[in-house]
Amino acid sequence: MKETPLSNCERRFLLRAIEEKKRLDGRQTYDYRNIRISFGTDYGCCIVELGKTRVLGQVSCELVSPKLNRATEGILFFNLELSQMAAPAFEPGRQSDLLVKLNRLLERCLRNSKCIDTESLCVVAGEKVWQIRVDLHLLNHDGNIIDAASIAAIVALCHFRRPDVSVQGDEVTLYTPEERDPVPLSIHHMPICVSFAFFQQGTYLLVDPNEREECVMDGLLVIAMNKHREICTIQSSGGIMLLKDQVLRCSKIAGVKVAEITELILKALENDQKVRKEGGKFGFAESIANQRITAFKMEKAPIDTSDVEEKAEEIIAEAEPPSEVVSTPVLWTPGTAQIGEGVENSWGDLEDSEKEDDEGGGDEAIILDSIKMDTGVEVSDIGSQDAPIILSDSEEEEMIILEPDKNPKKIRTQTTSAKQEKAPSKKPVKRRKKKRAAN
- The neighbouring-strand residues paired with 82 are 138
- Residue 300 is predicted with a pLDDT of 73
- Residue 398 is predicted with a pLDDT of 55
Least confident of 295-299, 311-315, 325-329, 432-436: 432-436
pLDDT per residue as tens digits for the range 355-369? 555 555 555 545 545
Least confident of 130-134, 238-242, 337-341, 348-352: 348-352
Percent of residues, the chain, with pLDDT higher than 70:
69
Q: Which residues of 191-201 are buried (b: 16+ CB within 10 A; e: fewer)?
A: bbbbbbbbbee
- Residue 201 is predicted with a pLDDT of 83
- Residue 348 is predicted with a pLDDT of 52
- Residue 152 is predicted with a pLDDT of 95
pLDDT at 383 over 80: no
- Residue 438 is predicted with a pLDDT of 46
pLDDT per residue as tens digits for the range 273-316? 998 888 877 777 666 665 555 555 566 777 777 778 888 888 88
**Which is nearest to 78 in space by CA: 142, 160, 149, 145?**
149
**Would you give the DSSP letter of residue 108?**
I
- Residue 59 is predicted with a pLDDT of 94
Q: Is the dihedral of CA 172, 178, 179, 183 positive or negative?
A: positive
Contact 202, 241 (CB under 8 A): yes
Cα–Cα–Cα angle for 174, 74, 110, rounded to 5 degrees: 125
CA distance 174 to 164: 6
234, amino acid identity: I
- The neighbouring-strand residues paired with 207 are 196
- Residue 278 is predicted with a pLDDT of 85
Secondary structure of 202-222 in the HEC alphabet?
CCEEEECCCHHHHHHCCEEEE
Domains detected in the chain: 27-285 (3.30.230.70)
- Residue 421 is predicted with a pLDDT of 46
- Band of residue 332 on the pLDDT scale cut at 50, 70, 90: low
- Residue 150 is predicted with a pLDDT of 95
- Residue 195 is predicted with a pLDDT of 95
- Residue 45 is predicted with a pLDDT of 93
- Residue 351 is predicted with a pLDDT of 53
Contacts of 361 (CB under 8 A, 6+ apart): none
364, amino acid identity: E
How far, CA to CA in Å, does 124 sit from each of 66, 175, 182, 225? 9, 16, 19, 33
Q: Is the dihedral of CA 90, 91, 92, 95 positive or negative?
A: negative
- Band of residue 417 on the pLDDT scale cut at 50, 70, 90: very low
pLDDT per residue as tens digits for the range 74-130? 999 999 998 888 888 888 777 788 899 999 999 999 988 989 999 999 999 888 999
CA distance 15 to 269: 39
Least confident of 48-52, 184-188, 308-312, 403-407: 403-407
pTM over 0.75: no
CA distance 181 to 379: 102
Secondary structure of 43-55 in the HEC alphabet?
CCEEEEEECCEEE
Contacts of 332 (CB under 8 A, 6+ apart): 338, 344, 345, 347, 348
pLDDT per residue as tens digits for the range 228-285? 999 999 999 887 888 899 999 999 999 999 999 999 999 999 999 998 888 877 777 6
Q: What is the mean pLDDT of the chain?
A: 78
Helix 145-159 / helix 97-106 crossing angle, nearest 10 deg: 40
pLDDT at 403 over 70: no
- Residue 331 is predicted with a pLDDT of 60
